[in-house]
A and B are shown apart, each in its own frame.
Chain A
Amino acid sequence: MFLVTELLSLLATNLILTQALGTSTLFIAAGNKKNLLRTAIAISVFTSVGSGAAYIINRLLPDGLSDLTLLFYTLIIGIIYVLLLTALYFIGSESFGNTRKYVHVSAFNCAVMGTLFTVTERADTYPQLNTFFNFVLSGIEAGAGFILAAFILTAAYRKLNSAKVPASFRGFPAMLVYLGLISMAVYALR
């Protein structure tokens, strides 16, 4: 029962299904299971570490300079991007050529940046959520939400790309309509 409740809450707060954040990245990830797993891991690292760093920036940045928030978030993601690439290089320099593309795809996109802004917005609305732990947890949740949405899309990926679908709607258009239907179901859960 606990798992079902958690799954429903993950769906109801899912950034892709409720806010359309990172939809294009999801389409890449859903292409095959290897892509899905690696992109999801990279995005989860960016969202969780980035959210923690966003908390610190929010604390340090004076209210009058809120327009600089994006710039600082970009710098955070840039630093995580470099650190992640460096770590991957030292972990396995032979496979670096294959793995780095997932980091490139995941670094600067709406899924990651949207998470930082959404978590901050939520903390502004509900001050009890304005803790470092909650920011990191929300970042992890966003990553898990991405994986969940990617699995939902992967389940129908072949059929949406099959010859049975009219040529004009095959692929992206069918996937968008499919995500719309899932999003409608999630909307009913909220």
Chain B
Amino acid sequence: MKNRKTAVFDGLLGDNTVLSALMVISPVIVCGNTLENAIALIYAFSAITFFSVVLSSFVPRRLPYAAKIIFYAVIASIVYIPVKTAAREFFPEVVTRVGIYFPLLAVNSLIVVQTEAKFFRMKRGAMIGSLVFCILGFDAVMLITAFIRELLAYGTICGRLVDADTLISGLALPFGGFIFLGLLCGLYRKVRSAVGHDSDNTGGDGNVSGN
């Protein structure tokens, strides 16, 4: 049986939000190709998810499942409004570049699926801890993906040119994102099984419902 304390950290390492549970992968695949995009998306995802899940935890538990999911999605859509207003101030170009992926962060699986399946089965303190690590799990993958893809596709780091001999421009495109994430996911599993976190590293881990 899994230790309760380590379970709280799972979203980051043991059961990573993106690499293990395959949640919120669309923004990573399509927009995770520059660090500038990544930072803006990390800010938006973290703010929307954290406040939405915390506020949603006050929705009465007795409501039918469908009603609760609608409430959670509506809460996230309301939280999205000030987050987007602030993003327009700090990342005006990125908000335009990221386009539809910005509002789509508000219907991510952590809010509409994991709330009922995982977070709201915990006590509030543990829930917030687990939520923070799930968010950090996404943030870490987004940063790593964006750093490597930007470096290899554009030969830049945060928009500054570096001395890169060979560029793989396709890595910045969605198909490059799919392939890169697939490879990263495989590498993550290999490392996880090597450190003994997972005795069976075959497919099917995590919850893939949602985004």
**A: which residues have CB within 8 A of B?**
17-25, 27-28, 67-71, 73-75, 77-78, 81-82, 85, 104-105, 107-110, 113-114, 117-118, 121, 161, 166-181, 183-184, 186-187
A-chain residues with CB within 8 Å of residue B76 when the two chains form the complex: 74
Asked if B173 CB lies within 8 Å of chain A CBs, one says: yes
Judge whether B130 is part of the interface by a CB distance below 8 angstroms. Answer: no
* Chain B positions near chain A (C-beta within 8 angstroms): 22-23, 25-26, 29-30, 65-66, 69-70, 73-74, 76-78, 80-81, 84-85, 99-100, 103-104, 106-107, 109, 112, 170, 173-183, 185-187, 189-190, 193, 201-204, 208-211
B172 to chain A, nearest CB (A): 12
Contacts A78-B74, A121-B99; A23 near B29 (Cβ below 8 A): yes
Which residues on the B side are within 8 Å of A28 (C-beta)? 208-209
Kindly list chain B residues whose C-beta atoms are within 8 Å of the C-beta of A24: 22-23, 25, 109, 208-211
Known: A168-B186, A171-B204. 17 other contacts (CB 8 A): A19-B30, A23-B29, A23-B211, A24-B25, A27-B22, A71-B74, A74-B106, A82-B70, A104-B69, A117-B99, A117-B100, A166-B186, A168-B201, A173-B185, A180-B182, A186-B175, A187-B175
Instruction: Determine if B189 and A173 form an interchain contact, defined as CB atoms under 8 angstroms apart.
Output: yes
With beta carbons under 8 angstroms apart, the residue of B84, B104, B182 that contacts A173 is B182
Give the distance in Å from the alpha carbon of A114 to the alpha carbon of B30 in the complex: 13
- Select from chain B the residue with minimum beta-carbon distance to A169: B186
Q: Chain B contacts of A178 at CB under 8 A?
A: 182
CA of A183 to CA of B173 in the docked complex: distance in angstroms? 10
Assembly CA distance A18 to B177 (angstroms): 11
Task: For B77, give its contact among A71, A109, A171, A177 (CB under 8 Å).
Answer: A71
Chain B: minimal CB distance from A66 (Å): 10
For B179, the closest partner residue in chain A by CB is: A180
In the complex the two chains form, what is the Cα distance from A79 to B179 in whole Å? Answer: 37
B196 to chain A minimum Cβ distance, whole angstroms, is: 14
Cβ of B183: which chain A residues have Cβ within 8 Å of it? 173, 177
Report the tally of A-B residue pairs with Cβ distances under 8 A.
Answer: 170
- Return the chain B residue nearest A113 by Cβ: B107
7 pairs across A/B with beta carbons < 8 Å? A20-B178, A77-B73, A105-B210, A107-B69, A176-B182, A180-B176, A180-B182
Give chain A nearest CB distance to B175 CB in angstroms: 4
Query: Which residues on the B side are within 8 Å of A17 (C-beta)?
Result: 174
Do the beta carbons of A23 and B173 come within 8 Å of each other?
no
Note all chain A residues with C-beta closer than 8 A to B81. Answer: 67-68, 71
**Interfacial chain A residues near B80, Cβ < 8 Å:** 67, 70-71
Chain A residues contacting B23 (CB-CB under 8 Å) are: 24
> For residue A113, which residues in chain B have a CB less than 8 angstroms away from its CB?
103-104, 107
Whether the Cβ atoms of A20 and B30 lie closer than 8 Å is yes
Question: How many Å from the CB of B140 to the closest CB on chain A?
Answer: 18
Contact between B103 and A177 (Cβ–Cβ < 8 Å)? Answer: no
* Nearest CB of B to A127, in Å: 18
The residue in chain A whose Cβ has the minimal distance to the Cβ of B80 is A70
B84 x A168 contact (CB < 8 A): no
Say whether A168 contacts B211, CB under 8 Å. no
| Closest Cβ–Cβ distance, residue A89 to chain B (whole Å) | 11
User: Which of A23, A67, A85, A173 has the largest count of B CB atoms less than 10 A from its CB?
Assistant: A173
For the complex of A and B, the 8 pairs showing the least CB-CB separation, nearest first, are A171-B203, A180-B178, A176-B182, A180-B179, A177-B182, A173-B186, A183-B175, A117-B100
Which residues of chain B are within 8 angstroms of A78 by Cβ–Cβ distance? 70, 73-74
- Tell me, rounded to whole Å, the shortest Cβ–Cβ distance linking A168 to chain B: 4
- CB-nearest residue of chain A to B177: A20
Cβ B66 vs Cβ A168 within 8 A: no
